Structure 1
Amino acid sequence: MSKRTAPKPQADIGIKPRQPCPCGSGKRYKACHGAAGGAANVIVTRPFEGLAAECELVALREFVPSATAKLPLRDGGEVTLATVLPMAAAALRRNDDKAFIGLQVQTHSGDISRDLARAVDWVRSAELGETLSVVGPETAEVGAVPPRLQDLLDPVAPLDVELHKDFSWWLPEDVEPTGEVALSLERANAAIMPTERLTAEGVESAYWVDAGEKAHLRWVRPEPEEQLLAALARLSARGELALGEDSRYAGSFRAHGLLVPVWDLDREKHAREWDEPAAELGRRLAEALGSLDTEPLNAAERRARDGLRGRQITIR
């Protein structure tokens, strides 16, 4: 596949340096997109905020190995979001004219949402077989405020995620991989951990993952961290935080502004056997979240919250 050079910078768009930056960061234009490097200087800790698909985007970016989803573009264009592309490319247009952008990529800016939007813009005008290896500062327009994914997508549309057992979808059905692509495909397939998306009613962005020695449930939650942590602590104090006798709450990690609780599961059970336990836990969690407005945490629940905080890490 060939590679195309980034577009040349354009002229300044005329915003005064001391005016608020139109990107909404709250900074003055001269300290944000008007500075050298533009959008690359702006660190966005919750890049997918405002999208109904936020939790799914976090899951696909961080731990789902092989999956695709058609992007719900406002203008109805055909671009497929992928967890990872050959050689971790940012975007590619296959020889069969299908356009893809990758989530699990190297980034050189502080806003993944803008990087993805640039990849979408690039791939829609790319020629057959072209690949964009990385989105970086050189693809930004000097003085301009490039769009974010929120500007391109229907904000209330969910992602219809399709999980794959391997990465054979990288290539059209009648094409045999060769060279670097074949090597990348072999390595990617060897590294896949079996993953299933739980499908019970009320359970969204929750994935069963077979990590080898044990299985896990990783559940991306949309609630503010402190609110979610308080609800988890309420369940923990009641002994209701597990999904049953064959599970235990392991901790949580932060990713792109959201908290992802994790449970260790009995690896001998099939992923589908955890659908109903997860739904029951979801109902208990919803009840606990609803009770926080009228019932402050008691002493035991506050101690439980402190214990849960000790099992948190941040990966993004």
Structure 2
Amino acid sequence: MAKKPSVAFVLRPFDGLPGEPDWVAMREVVPAATATVRTTAEHGSRDVVVTTVLPEGWPALHRADGQVMVALQTSTGSGDASRDVATALLAALELEPGTPVTSTGLPTPGPRLQDVLDLSVPFTVTVHESYDYWLTPDTERTTDVQASLDEARETIIPTRKLASVESAYWCRMGEREYLRWAMPHDEQAMVDALARLHAARQSAIGDARFIGYFRSSGVVVPVWELVPGTGADALEQPAEEFEARFAEALADPSPLDANARRARAGLVSRQVTLR
């Protein structure tokens, strides 16, 4: 039996899409959020809702009202998340309304999101406090339906997207608060910039302490821990101020000094790579 061709691993699967860092954030750190994209004319110029998750881990859903939804947080992958999501999206477009895509298997080489979506449409994320958006406006909220939504809502980590900067998300986990900020810059240059700021004691955002970074889908996501009770609103201006400092550090072509090299080594030793 001939072996099926496999999908090549792609380090930055969402590279080239509008809002790449937000795609990564929705895939990894945001519990409940949506953004609307549009397919190309070849694929019907259809508006599609990209969501973090769908009921029962479905990869996609052609809702009863005709709305197509596709999820980013799924349990399987081929090594190219863009190809995986595109496979689910295209499958959902072919289904009758009211039908979920329950499984896609491992995709073979084919169209990616960059081929399927109209790249002129901005990727604007809306964070939700519940999963009510799963339902159509006329869905009957039976006791079972409401109980299921309530149970799902209890798993949501309170999250807010900052308005003053791009792709930065505040969250509260128990009594602790964090800011996780996905950035699209080259990893080596970005870590150098973070190291410069950390060594110069300029890596804090207000009273939020920079604690390191993780990497996901080829994008670096720095993390800050906040003083409990800070909240998201208090971060808006300090985040803008940090962004200006970071841009200056990112543009600095000079070699790292000894303090910055030590800071960089510490950051790299603690970094974590997610899928």
- Normalising by structure 1, report the TM-score: 0.81
What is the aligned partner in structure 2 of residue 306 from structure 1? Answer: 265
Aligned with residue 6 of structure 2, among 33, 39, 42: 39
Pick closer, same or farther for the CA change 1:181–1:43 going to 2, 3 Å.
farther
Please report how far the alpha carbon of residue 39 of structure 1 lies from its aligned counterpart in structure 2 after TM superposition.
Answer: 3.4
Deviations 1:146-194 (A, max 9, x none): 1000111233543111111100111113323569866653332110011
Per-residue CA deviations over 1:235-273 (Å, capped at 9, x if unaligned) read 0111100012x2211111110111110000123123111
**CA–CA distance in 1 between the matches of 2:39 and 2:239?**
31
Within the alignment, does 1:268 sit opposite 2:229 as a pair?
A: yes
Give the greater-gyration-radius structure (CA): 1
Q: How far off is 1:52 after superposition? A: 2.5
- Provide the residue aligned with 1:281 in structure 2: 242
1:249 alignment partner, SS class: strand
Unaligned ranges ≥5, structure 2: none
Distance 1:178 1:132 in 2: 24
Distance (Å, rounded) in 2 between the aligned partners of 1:52 and 1:252: 23
1:62-81 equivalences under 5 Å are 62-75=28-41, 76-81=45-50
| Total equivalences in the alignment | 271
Q: 2:63 aligns with which of 90, 94, 97?
A: 94
> What does residue range 125-204 of structure 1 map to in structure 2 within 5 Å?
125-137=94-106, 140=108, 145-155=109-119, 157-176=121-140, 184-200=148-164, 203-204=165-166
Determine if contact 1:252/1:260 at 8 Å carries over to the other structure: yes
Q: Give the TM-score of the pair, scaled to structure 2.
A: 0.92
Shift of 1:56: 0.7
Hey, what does 1:113 align to over in structure 2? 82
Q: Is the 8 A contact 2:58 2:103 kept in 1?
A: yes
- Give the SS at the match of 2:264: helix
The residue number in structure 2 matching 1:249 is 210
1:296 corresponds to which of 239, 251, 255: 255
Query: Aligned Cα RMSD in Å?
Result: 1.9
Distance in 2, Cα, partners of 1:56 & 1:192? 18
Q: Do residues 227 (structure 1) and 189 (structure 2) align? A: yes
2:176 aligns with 214
CA contact under 8 A between 1:72 and 1:159: conserved in structure 2? no
Structure 1 unmatched ranges of 5 or more: 1-34
The change in CA–CA distance for 1:55 and 1:264 in structure 2 (over 3 A counts) is: same
Q: Distance in 2 between matches of 1:179 and 1:151?
A: 42
Distance 2:117 2:199 in 1: 41
Partner Cα distance (1:207, 1:215) in 2: 11
Q: Partners of 1:39 and 1:129 in 2: how far apart? A: 31
Is 1:52 aligned to residue 14 of structure 2?
Answer: no
